[in-house]
């Protein structure tokens, strides 16, 4: 592996600035690595020509000293973001021929700051899944122990794997119930789900609109801070996006955590959580205490109801959002004699099993006679869960939990639906409450697979997550590079 | 699980009609089994007392802002039609709906 691939965003920006290497060299190096790691099935589209052309412009900008905030940073994009003139499929057959005529706000924000798109990364179909196995073009393979064919997690499996395999300097993903944090934990990278409303959802293919949020997947915490700074901000085109000013997140790196109160929710360590993951979390507690934080036990008794709430709210919103795929305006069409038949056959042909299940469940919980019992009930419990977080954040500043109950599993090994859904048991509650969460890699289990811990914060305290995450990262002090690729 | 909430072939047919989503009759049995497993799981919420609790539909805490009723784009017929499976001049084409 060449040295260029080892550098994080900060080091790359410094190197480019000093002209130690050019953007063209950097992009060429990444394109070579993408080629070398093709066996992991991460990229659905590779924009080589376009990336090299922009790299040339970027080199000019450095020469003229008109370089921007992320000038020359090569980025991989989850295939849920619409990218103008570049095929965007959400890993679904129904969108397999879709070429957007517009650019999502978040990706546009990145390109405006000089970042360079390497290509589009695979994910679970319409971001529905926790293993990347629902992807239409086949699953991504986790770069860790890759010959074992393990799951990179999901739904942002391609985004997490690409950063781990150094086939992107950083990537972006979307998180609806854990889709950034869980794959980040499985692949040994940093993954941030910002507060709901921190990043614009405009131009992101909608799954569950009250939960969807974009975020970065990176090598380091400071890289995540830099990426979020460029991605976040108010967008008139997304009325749920926040008008709160975007802080200079880098200022939170290297700051003391002395006196901060960190809660450990007892409900996040029940049976079913791997002992090694619990041990890793205990180790992190020691790090935090050593650095002057106060760690106390707290309780969030409604935690176990978060998943059932999620599996009502998310499918309900999905069934509504996905009604747009009807074979009329874009995407796949199955020619039929009547309009209704065309809708029904097109959707049967275009959607995979998991997406179909969720559309049917969503239709069911919204249908007459079941709406109150399921959908309204779920929204009420969602409020109680949010209230519970509000209350606990009066006592503590942050929460520390495992990101996932287990480390990466073998592809094809999880046949039971509910077992698969349980992957998100620790990430879903924060999604329902709209609060930010970050997963930080903290070690390897006895099979050499990455373990992640999750930190949760009050709404819009992403800065706090970076501050604590950076301390944890410094204490762990481990190079999370998968071997043998 | 409450028996009345269980999905059977008849209710699956109704739901599939509502969702405009045809399903493979051969794999219906498996689909029904999966759906009932999920329903059994979400039925857990009955254990939670939600009396006098207002449903939460948005976590932003702010009201949706209004904007001036003015055209923000427009004249993008070509872009809008760009991905259409079938079009003729400036229209999407669908199977005949009236005889």
Nearest CB to A344 within list B15, B22, B76 = B22
Q: Which of A218, A279, A277 is nearest to A450 (CA)?
A: A277
Residue with tokens 């941030």: A192
State how far the Cα of A158 lies from the Cα of A163, in Å rounded to an integer: 9
State how far the Cα of A172 lies from the Cα of A228, in Å rounded to an integer: 10
Mutate to test the interface with B, among A210, A236, A308, A339 (most CBs of B within 10 A): A308
Q: Is B36 on the interface with A (CB under 8 A)?
A: no
Q: Which of B23, B59, B18, B10 is nearest to A365 (CA)?
A: B18
pLDDT-derived band at A333 (thresholds 50, 70, 90) equals: very high
Contact B20 A343 (CB under 8 A): yes
- Report field, pTM of the whole predicted structure over 0.95: yes
State how far the Cα of A271 lies from the Cα of B42, in Å rounded to an integer: 20
Contact A434 B60 (CB under 8 A): yes
Q: What is the pLDDT of residue A342?
A: 97
Distance from CA of B12 to the nearest CA of A (A): 8
How far, rounded to the nearest angstrom, does the alpha carbon of residue B72 sit from its chain's CA centroid? 28
State how far the Cα of A96 lies from the Cα of A373, in Å rounded to an integer: 37
This complex has an ipTM of 0.96
Nearest CB to A345 within list B22, B56, B79 = B22
Q: Is B91 on the interface with A (CB under 8 A)?
A: no
Share of residues in chain A with pLDDT > 90 (%): 98
Q: What is the pLDDT of residue A466?
A: 98
Q: Which residues of A touch B60 (CB under 8 A)?
A: 196-197, 240, 242, 434
Q: Which contacts (CB < 8 Å, 24+ apart) does range A51-56 have?
A: A51/A27, A51/A116, A51/A117, A51/A118, A51/A119, A52/A24, A52/A27, A52/A28, A54/A116, A54/A117, A55/A22, A55/A23, A55/A24, A55/A26, A55/A27, A55/A28, A55/A116, A56/A23, A56/A24
Distance from CA of B31 to the nearest CA of A (A): 7
Mutate to test the interface with B, among A195, A238, A360, A368 (most CBs of B within 10 A): A360
Contact B85 A327 (CB under 8 A): yes
User: Residue B97: is its pLDDT beyond 90?
Assistant: no
Distance from CA of A382 to the nearest CA of B (A): 6
Contact B83 A97 (CB under 8 A): yes
Contact A331 B23 (CB under 8 A): no
Rounded alpha-carbon distances, angstroms, from residue A386 to A110, A261, A339, A381, B72: 31, 20, 43, 9, 36
DSSP character for A372? I
Contact A364 B94 (CB under 8 A): no
Contact A380 B50 (CB under 8 A): yes
State how far the Cα of A284 lies from the Cα of A471, in Å rounded to an integer: 10
Contact B31 A433 (CB under 8 A): no
**pLDDT-wise least confident of A2-6, A128-132, A135-139, A375-379:** A2-6
Nearest CB to A359 within list B21, B44, B82 = B21
Q: Is B73 on the interface with A (CB under 8 A)?
A: no
What mean pLDDT value characterizes chain A? 97
State how far the Cα of A18 lies from the Cα of A320, in Å rounded to an integer: 51
Nearest CB to B38 within list A311, A373, A378 = A311
Nearest CB to B35 within list A305, A347, A360 = A360
pLDDT digits (tens, 9 = 90+) for A33-85: 999 999 999 999 999 999 999 999 999 999 999 999 999 999 999 999 999 99
Distance from CA of A45 to the nearest CA of B (A): 18
Q: Is B32 on the interface with A (CB under 8 A)?
A: no
User: Residue A186: is its pLDDT beyond 70?
Assistant: yes
Contact A210 B85 (CB under 8 A): no
State how far the Cα of B26 lies from the Cα of B16, in Å rounded to an integer: 15
CB B82 within 8 A of CB B92: no
Contact B60 A97 (CB under 8 A): no
A191 sits in which H/E element: strand A190-193
Q: What is the pLDDT of residue B66?
A: 87
pLDDT-derived band at A363 (thresholds 50, 70, 90) equals: very high
State how far the Cα of A159 lies from the Cα of A266, in Å rounded to an integer: 31
First and final CA of chain B: distance in angstroms? Answer: 47
Active-site annotation of A, residues: 78, 155, 179
Q: Domains of chain A (ranges plus CATH)?
A: 3-261+397-476 (3.90.1300.10), 304-379 (no CATH)
pLDDT digits (tens, 9 = 90+) for B14-25: 999 999 999 989
Mutate to test the interface with A, among B17, B29, B80, B85 (most CBs of A within 10 A): B85
């Amino acid at each position: 592996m060449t040295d260029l691939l080892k550098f994080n965003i900060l080091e790359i920006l410094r190197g480019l600035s000093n002209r130690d290497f050019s953007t063209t060299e950097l992009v060429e190096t990444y394109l070579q690595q993408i080629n070398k790691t093709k066996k992991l099935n991460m990229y659905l589209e590779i924009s080589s020509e376009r990336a090299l052309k922009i790299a040339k412009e970027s080199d000019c900008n450095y020469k003229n000293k008109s370089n921007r905030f992320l000038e020359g940073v090569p980025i991989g994009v989850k295939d849920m973001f619409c990218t103008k003139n570049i095929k965007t499929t959400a890993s679904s057959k129904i969108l397999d021929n879709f070429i957007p005529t517009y650019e999502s706000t978040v990706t546009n924000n990145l390109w405006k700051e000089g970042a360079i798109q390497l290509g589009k990364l695979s994910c679970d179909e319409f971001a529905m899944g926790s293993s990347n196995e629902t992807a239409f073009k086949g699953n991504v393979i986790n770069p860790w122990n890759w010959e074992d064919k393990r799951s990179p997690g999901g739904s942002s499996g391609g985004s997490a794997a690409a950063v781990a395999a150094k086939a992107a300097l950083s990537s972006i993903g979307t998180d609806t119930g854990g889709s950034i944090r869980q794959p980040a934990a499985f692949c040994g990278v940093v993954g941030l789900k910002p507060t709901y409303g921190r990043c614009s959802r405009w131009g992101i293919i909608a799954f569950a609109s009250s939960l969807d949020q974009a975020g970065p997947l990176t090598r380091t915490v400071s890289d995540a801070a830099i990426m979020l700074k460029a991605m976040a901000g108010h967008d008139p085109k997304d009325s749920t996006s926040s008008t709160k000013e975007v802080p200079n997140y880098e200022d939170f790196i290297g700051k003391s955590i002395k006196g901060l109160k960190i809660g450990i929710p007892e409900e996040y360590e029940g049976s079913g959580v791997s002992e090694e993951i619990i041990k890793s979390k205990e180790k992190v507690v020691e790090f935090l205490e050593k650095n002057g934080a106060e760690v106390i036990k707290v309780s969030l008794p409604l935690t176990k109801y978060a998943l059932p709430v999620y599996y009502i709210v998310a499918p309900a919103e999905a069934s509504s959002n996905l009604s747009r795929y009807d074979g009329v305006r874009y995407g796949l069409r199955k020619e039929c004699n009547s309009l209704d038949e065309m809708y029904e056959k097109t959707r049967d042909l275009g959607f995979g099993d998991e997406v179909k299940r969720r559309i049917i469940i969503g239709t069911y919980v919204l249908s007459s006679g079941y709406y109150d019992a399921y959908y309204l009930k779920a929204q009420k419990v969602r409020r109680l869960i949010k209230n519970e977080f509000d209350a606990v954040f009066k006592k503590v500043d942050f929460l520390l939990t495992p990101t996932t109950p287990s480390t990466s599993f073998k592809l094809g090994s999880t046949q039971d639906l509910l077992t698969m859904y349980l992957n998100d048991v620790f990430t879903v509650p924060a999604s329902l409450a709209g609060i930010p969460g970050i997963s930080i890699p903290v070690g390897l289990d006895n099979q050499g697979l990455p373990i992640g811990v999750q930190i949760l914060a009050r709404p819009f305290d992403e800065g706090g997550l970076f501050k604590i995450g950076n301390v944890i990262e410094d204490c762990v002090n481990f190079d999370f590079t998968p071997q043998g690729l | 699980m409450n028996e009345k909430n269980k999905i059977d072939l008849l209710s699956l047919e109704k739901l599939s009609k509502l969702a405009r989503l045809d399903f493979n009759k051969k794999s219906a049995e498996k689909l029904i089994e999966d759906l009932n497993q999920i329903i059994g799981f979400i039925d857990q919420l009955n254990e939670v007392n939600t009396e006098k609790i207002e449903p939460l539909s948005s976590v932003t805490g702010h009201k949706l802002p209004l904007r001036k009723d003015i055209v923000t784009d427009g004249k993008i017929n070509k872009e809008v039609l760009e991905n259409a499976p079938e079009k003729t001049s400036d229209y999407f084409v669908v199977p005949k709906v009236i005889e």
